[in-house]
Amino acid sequence: MLIIRPIALADYSALHRCAVESGHGFTSLPENEELLNYRIEHSVYSFAKADITAPTDEGYLMVGIDSESGVAVGTTAIEASVGWDLPFYSYHIDTIVHSSRRLGVNKIVKLLSFGNNYTGCSELCSLFLLPRFREGLNGKLMSKCRFLMMAEHPERFSSTIIAEMRGVSDEQGNSPFWQWLQEHFFGIDFTLADYLAGSGHKGFIADLMPKLPIYVNLLSKEAQAVIGQVHDKTRPALKILEDEGFTCRDYVDIFDAGPTVECHLKHIRSVRNSFSAKVIIQDKVHGMSVLVSNTSVENFRAVMADVLLDEDRENVMISSEAAKALLVDNGDRVRILVNH
């Protein structure tokens, strides 16, 4: 069984392993001891923070624990409101028409406009699972447990939820889109730029990024081809979000041009379809497999488990093993997602 829980101070080595294995372009998990420790400490603070009525700078970082070994084998996170401590930049793909009646010419042109229009939105990030644990429903659990937390505690999150999808780069960390920017504006390679941004050193972006819109047709053919495209390893994560109702509204990452997808919190499929039920514990339960979480923030837990629901879905029967993993007793309430 995979158990999702808030990250703890003792999980540093597991988080570092995920940072190493996630590879190039995974900006939210840089191989930086100081930053990783800060993310853990900030997450512990955020989960413990009470009486929140609106999102601010909280960051909720969670790990997936293999129940057999007790080892953290993956990460998943939510940033409650981006842009508080560091600017959140992106490009928007705009379309304009150059026309001349006298010459009878109409030319449609696309532009990349630099800005930070997503400031204040909640961001899904840091979703990573070690390769040998990617079978079955583990990936869906790691991704969708965040929606159960949002559904149970909507006051902690923005009305707009976004996710930056990793763009195209090769095994050496070379990004076709960044190579064009590097040549004309930055002079540093993609892996260094990505590392600096992930480490919180974003000043160079505002200093060196072109202030005026960039005409897409002036980019190299290789750079143009990857705008809005995702890394092969990111396709499963994108498919899950698209099935939840997330769409790209022409915002892309400033480093690798990967798409940013968004959805209104109340329109996310798993938020809409999840429901609360009262727990009845039995030794063993053979029923349908559902995604289930407790209702706590500081002691949040989520698992995939077999349950039996009564006709009106007011009560749910779960096994003693699942109850132990979820830290719940008879009569407690849990949040359930059936059609995962």
Q: With a cut of 80, say whether residue 221 has pLDDT above it.
A: yes
Q: How far is CA 2 from the centre of its chain?
A: 19
Domain identity same for 229 and 171: yes
Whether 109 is in a domain gets the answer no
How far apart are alpha carbons 90 and 283 in whole angstroms? 51
Q: What's the pLDDT score for residue 188? A: 65
Domain identity same for 134 and 278: no
| Mean of pLDDT values over 209-216 | 85
Degrees (nearest 5) of the Cα angle 229, 231, 235? 90
What is the domain count for the chain?
2
Range of the domain at 120: 2-90+116-270
Question: Where are the alpha helices (H) located in the chain, listed in sequence order?
Answer: 12-22, 33-48, 138-152, 176-181, 190-198, 203-208, 221-226, 235-244, 269-273, 320-326
Count the alpha carbons within 13 Å of 317 in the hemisphere toward its beta carbon: 11
Domain identity same for 264 and 304: no
How far apart are alpha carbons 190 and 200 in whole angstroms? 16
Catalytic residue numbers, as ranges: 231
Whether 12 is in a domain gets the answer yes
Domain identity same for 143 and 262: yes
Per cent of the chain over pLDDT 70 is 91
Please report, for the domain that includes residue 166, its CATH number. 3.40.630.30
How far apart are alpha carbons 60 and 46 in whole angstroms? 6
- Domain end, chosen from 224, 250, 270, is at 270
Over the chain, what is the mean pLDDT?
89
- Domain end, chosen from 234, 249, 270, is at 270
Rg of the chain taking only CA atoms, in angstroms: 22
- Domain end, chosen from 225, 252, 270, is at 270
Look at 105 and 281; give whichever has higher pLDDT.
Answer: 281
Q: Which residues contact 150 (CB under 8 A, 6 or more apart)?
A: 78, 122, 156, 157, 161, 265, 268, 271
Whether 72 is in a domain gets the answer yes
Domain identity same for 127 and 259: yes
Q: What are phi and psi of 293, to 5 degrees?
A: -135, 160
Q: Which residues contact 312 (CB under 8 A, 6 or more apart)?
A: none
Please report, for the domain that includes residue 294, its CATH number. 2.40.40.20
Domain identity same for 279 and 265: no
Would you place residue 239 in the very low, low, confident or very high pLDDT band (cuts 50, 70, 90)? Answer: very high
Report the candidate in 333, 306, 328 with the shortest Cα–Cα distance to residue 318. 306
Do strands 90-100 and 72-79 pair parallel, antiparallel, or not at all (unpaired)?
Answer: unpaired
pLDDT in tens, 2-26: 999 999 999 999 998 888 887 655 6
Domain identity same for 83 and 44: yes
Domain identity same for 253 and 290: no
pLDDT in tens, 95-134: 998 877 787 788 899 999 988 999 999 999 999 998 888 8
For residues 39 and 109, the answer to whether their CB atoms sit within 8 Å is no
**b/e for 286-296, b at 16 or more Cβ within 10 A?**
eeeebbbbbbb
How far apart are alpha carbons 181 and 11 in whole angstroms? 37
Domain identity same for 68 and 162: yes
Domain identity same for 172 and 50: yes
Domain identity same for 231 and 327: no
pLDDT in tens, 175-208: 889 888 777 777 666 666 665 665 555 555 666 6
Consecutive H or E run containing 215: strand 214-215
For residues 336 and 275, the answer to whether their CB atoms sit within 8 Å is yes
Domain identity same for 132 and 74: yes
Count the alpha carbons within 13 Å of 111 in the hemisphere toward its beta carbon: 14
Q: What are phi and psi of 310, to 5 degrees?
A: -80, 175
Q: What's the pLDDT score for residue 198? A: 57
